[in-house]
Structure 1
Amino acid sequence: MSWQAYIDTSLVGSGNVDKAAIFNKEGTSVWAASAAFNVSPDEIKAVVAHYADTTEPKKIFGSGFKVAGEKYVTLRADERSLYGKKGKEGICICLTKQAILIAHYGETAQPGATAKTVEQLGDYLIGVGY
């Protein structure tokens, strides 16, 4: 399956995600993205920095983070997952062995269903070596 197919079928196609992107683990290359979902180089650099942060509590809890020009309050930040919320919308980010999955959900989505969708794709990719 192509990386774009993971976006279109596994994430957006689930109905739990309205836009998404997949980057390499270093955040230097976009492997696939939804139309008009533009994560800036500085934004992905901050996400990558979160995963390198070993402080407790993680700095991202105090600062929040931005994705596609929108600022999110950090809800969860651990070695694998980063979740954020802005009003009724949110972001679920999952780190795999070689990729970073970034998924946005809109006002009508259930955050738990979105997280489950993203984490399941993350589990699958880890299982196949990505």
Structure 2
Amino acid sequence: MSWQAYVDSSLVGSGHVDKAAIVSAAGDSTWAATSGFTVKPEELKAIVAILAGAGEGPAVNKALAEGVHIEGQRFVAFNIADRHIYGRHGRTGIIIVKTGQAILVAHYGEQHQAGNSTQTVEALADYLITAGY
């Protein structure tokens, strides 16, 4: 399956995510994304630093204090662990999950249930990890 198919079918196609991207774990390239969904290079750099902190450190503290930015929008980071970042902005949110070689960045809208969205993204991450990615 192509990376774009994972975005289109497994994430957006699930009905629990409205836009998503899969980027390299280094944050230096986008492998696939929903049309019009662009995570800026400086946003990816911050995400990589947060995830490298394994739930603690200066990047994590900054994210907890200042939020995580995706497409220029600030999301309040409310859960940061060794492989994921969850954030909210009003009734919308982001789920960011790292696998061995990729980072999944997903956005859910007001009509979505955060728990279902999270489960969808985490399940794809688990699958990619077992597949060696």
Instruction: Say yes or no: TM over 0.5.
Output: yes
Match of residue 120 from structure 1:
123
Match for residue 90 of structure 2 among 87, 90, 115: 87
Per the TM alignment, residue 63 of structure 1 is displaced from its structure 2 partner at its CA by: 1.7
User: How far apart, in 2, do the equivalents of 1:9 and 1:21 lie?
Assistant: 12
CA distance in 1, matches of 2:123, 2:30: 20
Code of the residue aligned with 2:60 in structure 1: it is K
CA RMSD of aligned residues (A): 1.3
Aligned residues: 130
- Partner residue, 2:60: 58
Letter in 2 for 1:47: I
What CA distance in whole angstroms lies between the structure 2 residues aligned with 1:27 and 1:57? 15
Report the alpha carbon displacement of residue 58 of structure 1 after superposing the two structures with TM.
3.0
Cα deviation, residue 75, structure 1? 1.2
Q: Which amino acid is the alignment partner of residue 17 of structure 1?
A: V
User: Which 4+ runs in 1 deviate beyond 6 A?
Assistant: none
Instruction: Between 102-111 and 60-69, report the one with greater CA deviation.
Output: 60-69
Correspondent of 1:106 among 93, 106, 109: 109
Q: Deviations over 1:1-28 (max 9, x none)?
A: 0000000000000000000000000000
TM-score (norm 2): 0.94
1:21-64 superposed Cα distances (whole Å, 9 cap, x missing partner): 00000000100000110110000100001012242893121121
| Alignment correspondent of 2:25 | 25
SS in 2 for 1:8: helix
The letter of the residue matching 2:57 is T
Q: How high is the TM-score relative to the length of structure 1? A: 0.96
Letter in structure 1 aligned against 2:2: S
Give, in whole Å, the separation in 1 of the partners of 2:20 and 2:60.
24
Give the secondary-structure state (helix, strand or coil) at the position aligned to 2:20. Answer: strand
Structure 2, gaps ≥5 residues long: none
1:40 and 2:40 equivalent? yes
Aligned to 1:2: 2
CA distance in 2, matches of 1:34, 1:9: 11
